[in-house]
Structure 1
Amino acid sequence: MKDVKVLGPGCKRCIAAAEMVQAEADRLGVPVTIEKVTDYAAIAGYGIASTPGVVIDGKVVHAGGLPKPEDLAKWLGA
């Protein structure tokens, strides 16, 4: 089970990033839990300056803009 956090204030891009992670995980058959982190102090704690950010198993793998599907596949362990 991959622990995924999507960092952002809840904007459309942040929602889309969470949906993209879930869709790619479903496609790959990788079980994930997705948590949306909207608290600015918590987001800053990950050291990112632009959102959405994606954290997988405690490691920041993406910040700013929407991630590419092929990157998501790589990060999720495909």
Structure 2
Amino acid sequence: MTTIQVLGTGCKKCVSLKENVETALRSAYIEADVQKIEDINEIVSFGVISTPALAVDGHVKIVGKVASPEEIVRLLQQ
């Protein structure tokens, strides 16, 4: 199963990204383990210095922006 990590300290944009991930998964009928990572040290361990960020199976795919549900679906279907 795919693991999706939403990296962010809890700001409005980070919350929006997590909501968009959940919307994308529902709309594309994709099952995934969605994790919200708020610990700054763990976020930095991904090499991320700008949030929100999105990682798929531990690989950072999006940094510093709130991706739309459509963008997330395209990313997951690659």
Q: TM-score, with normalisation over the residues of structure 2?
A: 0.91
C-alpha contact 1:56 1:75 (8 A) present in aligned 2: no
Equivalent pair of 1:25/1:76 in contact (CA under 8 Å): no
Equivalent residue, structure 1, for 2:41: 41
TM superposition shift of 1:58: 1.4
Length, aligned pairs only = 78
Question: In the alignment, which residue of structure 1 is the partner of 2:21?
Answer: 21
| Structure 1 stretches of at least 4 aligned residues deviating more than 2 Å after TM superposition | 68-71
Q: Which amino acid aligns with 1:44?
A: V
User: How big is the shift at 1:33?
Assistant: 1.3
Q: TM-score, normalising length from structure 1?
A: 0.91
2:43 is paired with a residue whose SS is helix
CA-atom RMSD, angstroms? 1.3
For structure 2, the residue ranges without an aligned partner over 5 or more in a row are: none
Q: In structure 2, how many angstroms separate the alpha carbons of the residues matched to 1:70 and 1:41?
A: 30
Match of residue 60 from structure 1: 60
